[in-house]
């Protein structure tokens, strides 16, 4: 290795533990994470505090899902030797920075965040969501900035959060570090800012359609193929994919067709993929035949992931995951505490230096 770990730019991204991860997570962000592990100093955060914003009464479920996320990550090839797993609730600097950042964001700016609005609608939260719910968007700025990350691999739906994070970083640098507002984003730190202005890195498919053929793939909409699904389940779910095509001889439409999105994403034989497109648009192949091939491609892709996951099942698996989380959280705290010290010094809050142990 030529560059030392400390000299590599940092990535921070994460998932909220709401259940097992699915193919949408893979194409949106996981794939980029796995790919960039050598180039960047990577921090992958389990947003278990955020899980309580909508499931405060489901502590047992949140704990189970927290371990499931870690298992999914390790199964897809996130390497605990190269990347750091971050358990959000055990990083006090994140909660503290959230408070300071909340003061830099107008309340109405947060409430206009389109991702929050979409979630309120999708989860049917009406006007009875908790105070903590919109606060999570501010917390997400702190997740990223606590690690002074430069790159945030996320799905399309998270872009609005990253934009808000960029605004917070710019405001902080301007107000507390005296960075001139005309400074280019890339030069923020060179000009004395505490925080780099992070960029979102979107996946190769910005929005994977669910098996309902309509909505974004999502656990809550019951239209997801999970990374841990077995062969039979994959086949069953793929067979149900809604394409809207009436008969096998109708000219098929590729655009916005979930089946072809999956085919493009997971078939490794690109010549066969091109052939399928031609046959389908000419009305020379039925949906059923395409579905079988696509299910096979997804299964081939998921087989090694499933196999690795099997190594983490049971109480022994849980113990191994908890051990990794503890070790990594202590590493993560070293970085986040350093950031907090820098931020507090800029804010004239440098009353003393604390150390935490975990
Ligand atoms: N809100 C993200 C999601 O639900 C998870 C998340 C929390 C996150 N903190 C983050 C993503 C920081 C990127 C960066 O998917």
Question: Residue 238: is its pLDDT beyond 70?
Answer: yes
Question: How many angstroms is it from 11 CA to the middle of ligand 1?
Answer: 12
Residue spans of beta strands (DSSP E) within the chain: 10-15, 41-46, 84-87, 151-154, 199-202
Residues 46-90: tens digit of each pLDDT: 999 999 999 999 999 999 999 999 999 999 999 999 999 999 999
**Residue nearest to ligand 1 atom 4, measured at CA:** 16
CA distances from 279 to 247, 258, 284, 290 (A): 14, 17, 5, 10
Question: How many angstroms is it from 18 CA to the middle of ligand 1?
Answer: 12
d(CA 68, CA 226): 12
- What is the pLDDT averaged over residues 249-266? 96
Residues 278-305: tens digit of each pLDDT: 999 999 999 999 999 999 999 999 999 9
Phi, psi of 268 (to 5 degrees): -90, -20
End-to-end CA distance of the chain: 29
- SS3 of 155, please? coil
Question: Residue 2: is its pLDDT beyond 60?
Answer: no
User: In the chain, where are the structural domains located?
Assistant: 3-207+314-346, 231-310
- What is the pLDDT averaged over residues 142-171? 97
Location of structure tokens 């809050």: 349
CATH of domain 231-310: 1.10.240.10
Question: Residue 139: is its pLDDT beyond 80?
Answer: yes
Q: What is the pLDDT of residue 353?
A: 86
Q: What is the pLDDT of residue 5?
A: 52
Question: How many angstroms is it from 296 CA to the middle of ligand 1?
Answer: 31
CB 23, CB 208: distance < 8 Å: yes
Residues 183-204: tens digit of each pLDDT: 999 999 999 999 999 999 999 9
Question: Residue 132: is its pLDDT beyond 50?
Answer: yes
- SS3 of 151, please? strand
For the CA of 157, the nearest atom of ligand 1: 15
Q: Ligand 1 pocket by C-beta < 6 Å: which residues? A: 12-16, 45, 47, 50, 140, 143-144, 152, 154, 158
Q: May I ask the CATH architecture of the domain 3-207+314-346?
A: 3-Layer(aba) Sandwich (3.40)
Residues 94-114: tens digit of each pLDDT: 999 999 999 999 999 999 999
The best mutation among 32, 119, 142, 161 to test binding of ligand 1, ranked by most ligand atoms within 8 Å of the C-beta, falls on 161
d(CA 230, CA 29): 22
Question: How many angstroms is it from 14 CA to the middle of ligand 1?
Answer: 5
Query: Are 3-207+314-346 and 231-310 equal in CATH topology?
Result: no
């Amino acid at each position: 290795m030529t560059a030392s770990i400390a000299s590599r730019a940092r990535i921070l991204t994460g998932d909220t533990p709401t259940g097992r991860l699915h193919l949408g997570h893979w194409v949106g962000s996981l794939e980029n994470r796995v790919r960039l592990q050598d180039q960047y100093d990577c921090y992958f955060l389990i947003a278990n505090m955020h899980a309580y914003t909508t499931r405060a009464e489901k502590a047992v479920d949140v704990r189970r899902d927290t371990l499931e996320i870690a298992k999914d990550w390790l199964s897809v090839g996130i390497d605990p030797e190269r990347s750091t797993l971050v358990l959000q609730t055990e990083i006090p600097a994140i909660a503290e920075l959230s408070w300071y950042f909340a003061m830099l964001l107008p309340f109405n700016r947060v409430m206009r965040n389109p991702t929050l609005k979409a979630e309120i609608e999708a989860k049917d939260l009406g006007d009875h969501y908790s105070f903590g719910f919109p606060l999570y968007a501010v917390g997400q700025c702190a997740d990223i900035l606590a690690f002074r990350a430069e790159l945030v691999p996320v799905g399309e739906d998270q872009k609005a959060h990253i934009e808000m994070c960029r605004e917070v970083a710019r405001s902080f640098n301007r107000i507390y570090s005296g960075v001139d507002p005309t400074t280019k984003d890339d030069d923020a730190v060179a000009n004395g800012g505490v925080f780099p202005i992070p960029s979102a890195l979107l996946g190769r498919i910005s929005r994977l359609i669910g098996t309902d053929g309509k909505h974004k793939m999502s656990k809550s909409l019951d239209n997801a193929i999970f990374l841990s699904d077995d062969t039979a389940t994959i086949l069953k779910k793929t067979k149900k994919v809604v394409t809207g095509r009436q008969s096998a001889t109708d000219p098929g439409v590729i655009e916005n067709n979930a089946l072809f999105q999956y085919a493009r994403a997971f078939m490794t034989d690109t010549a066969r993929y091109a052939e399928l497109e031609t046959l389908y648009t000419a009305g020379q192949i039925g949906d059923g035949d395409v579905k079988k091939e696509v299910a096979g491609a997804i299964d081939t892709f998921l087989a090694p992931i499933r196999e690795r996951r099997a190594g983490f099942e049971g109480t022994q698996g849980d113990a191994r995951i908890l051990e990794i989380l503890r070790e990594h959280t202590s590493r993560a705290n070293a970085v986040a505490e350093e950031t907090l010290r820098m931020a507090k010094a800029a804010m004239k809050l440098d009353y003393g230096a604390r150390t935490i142990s975990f």
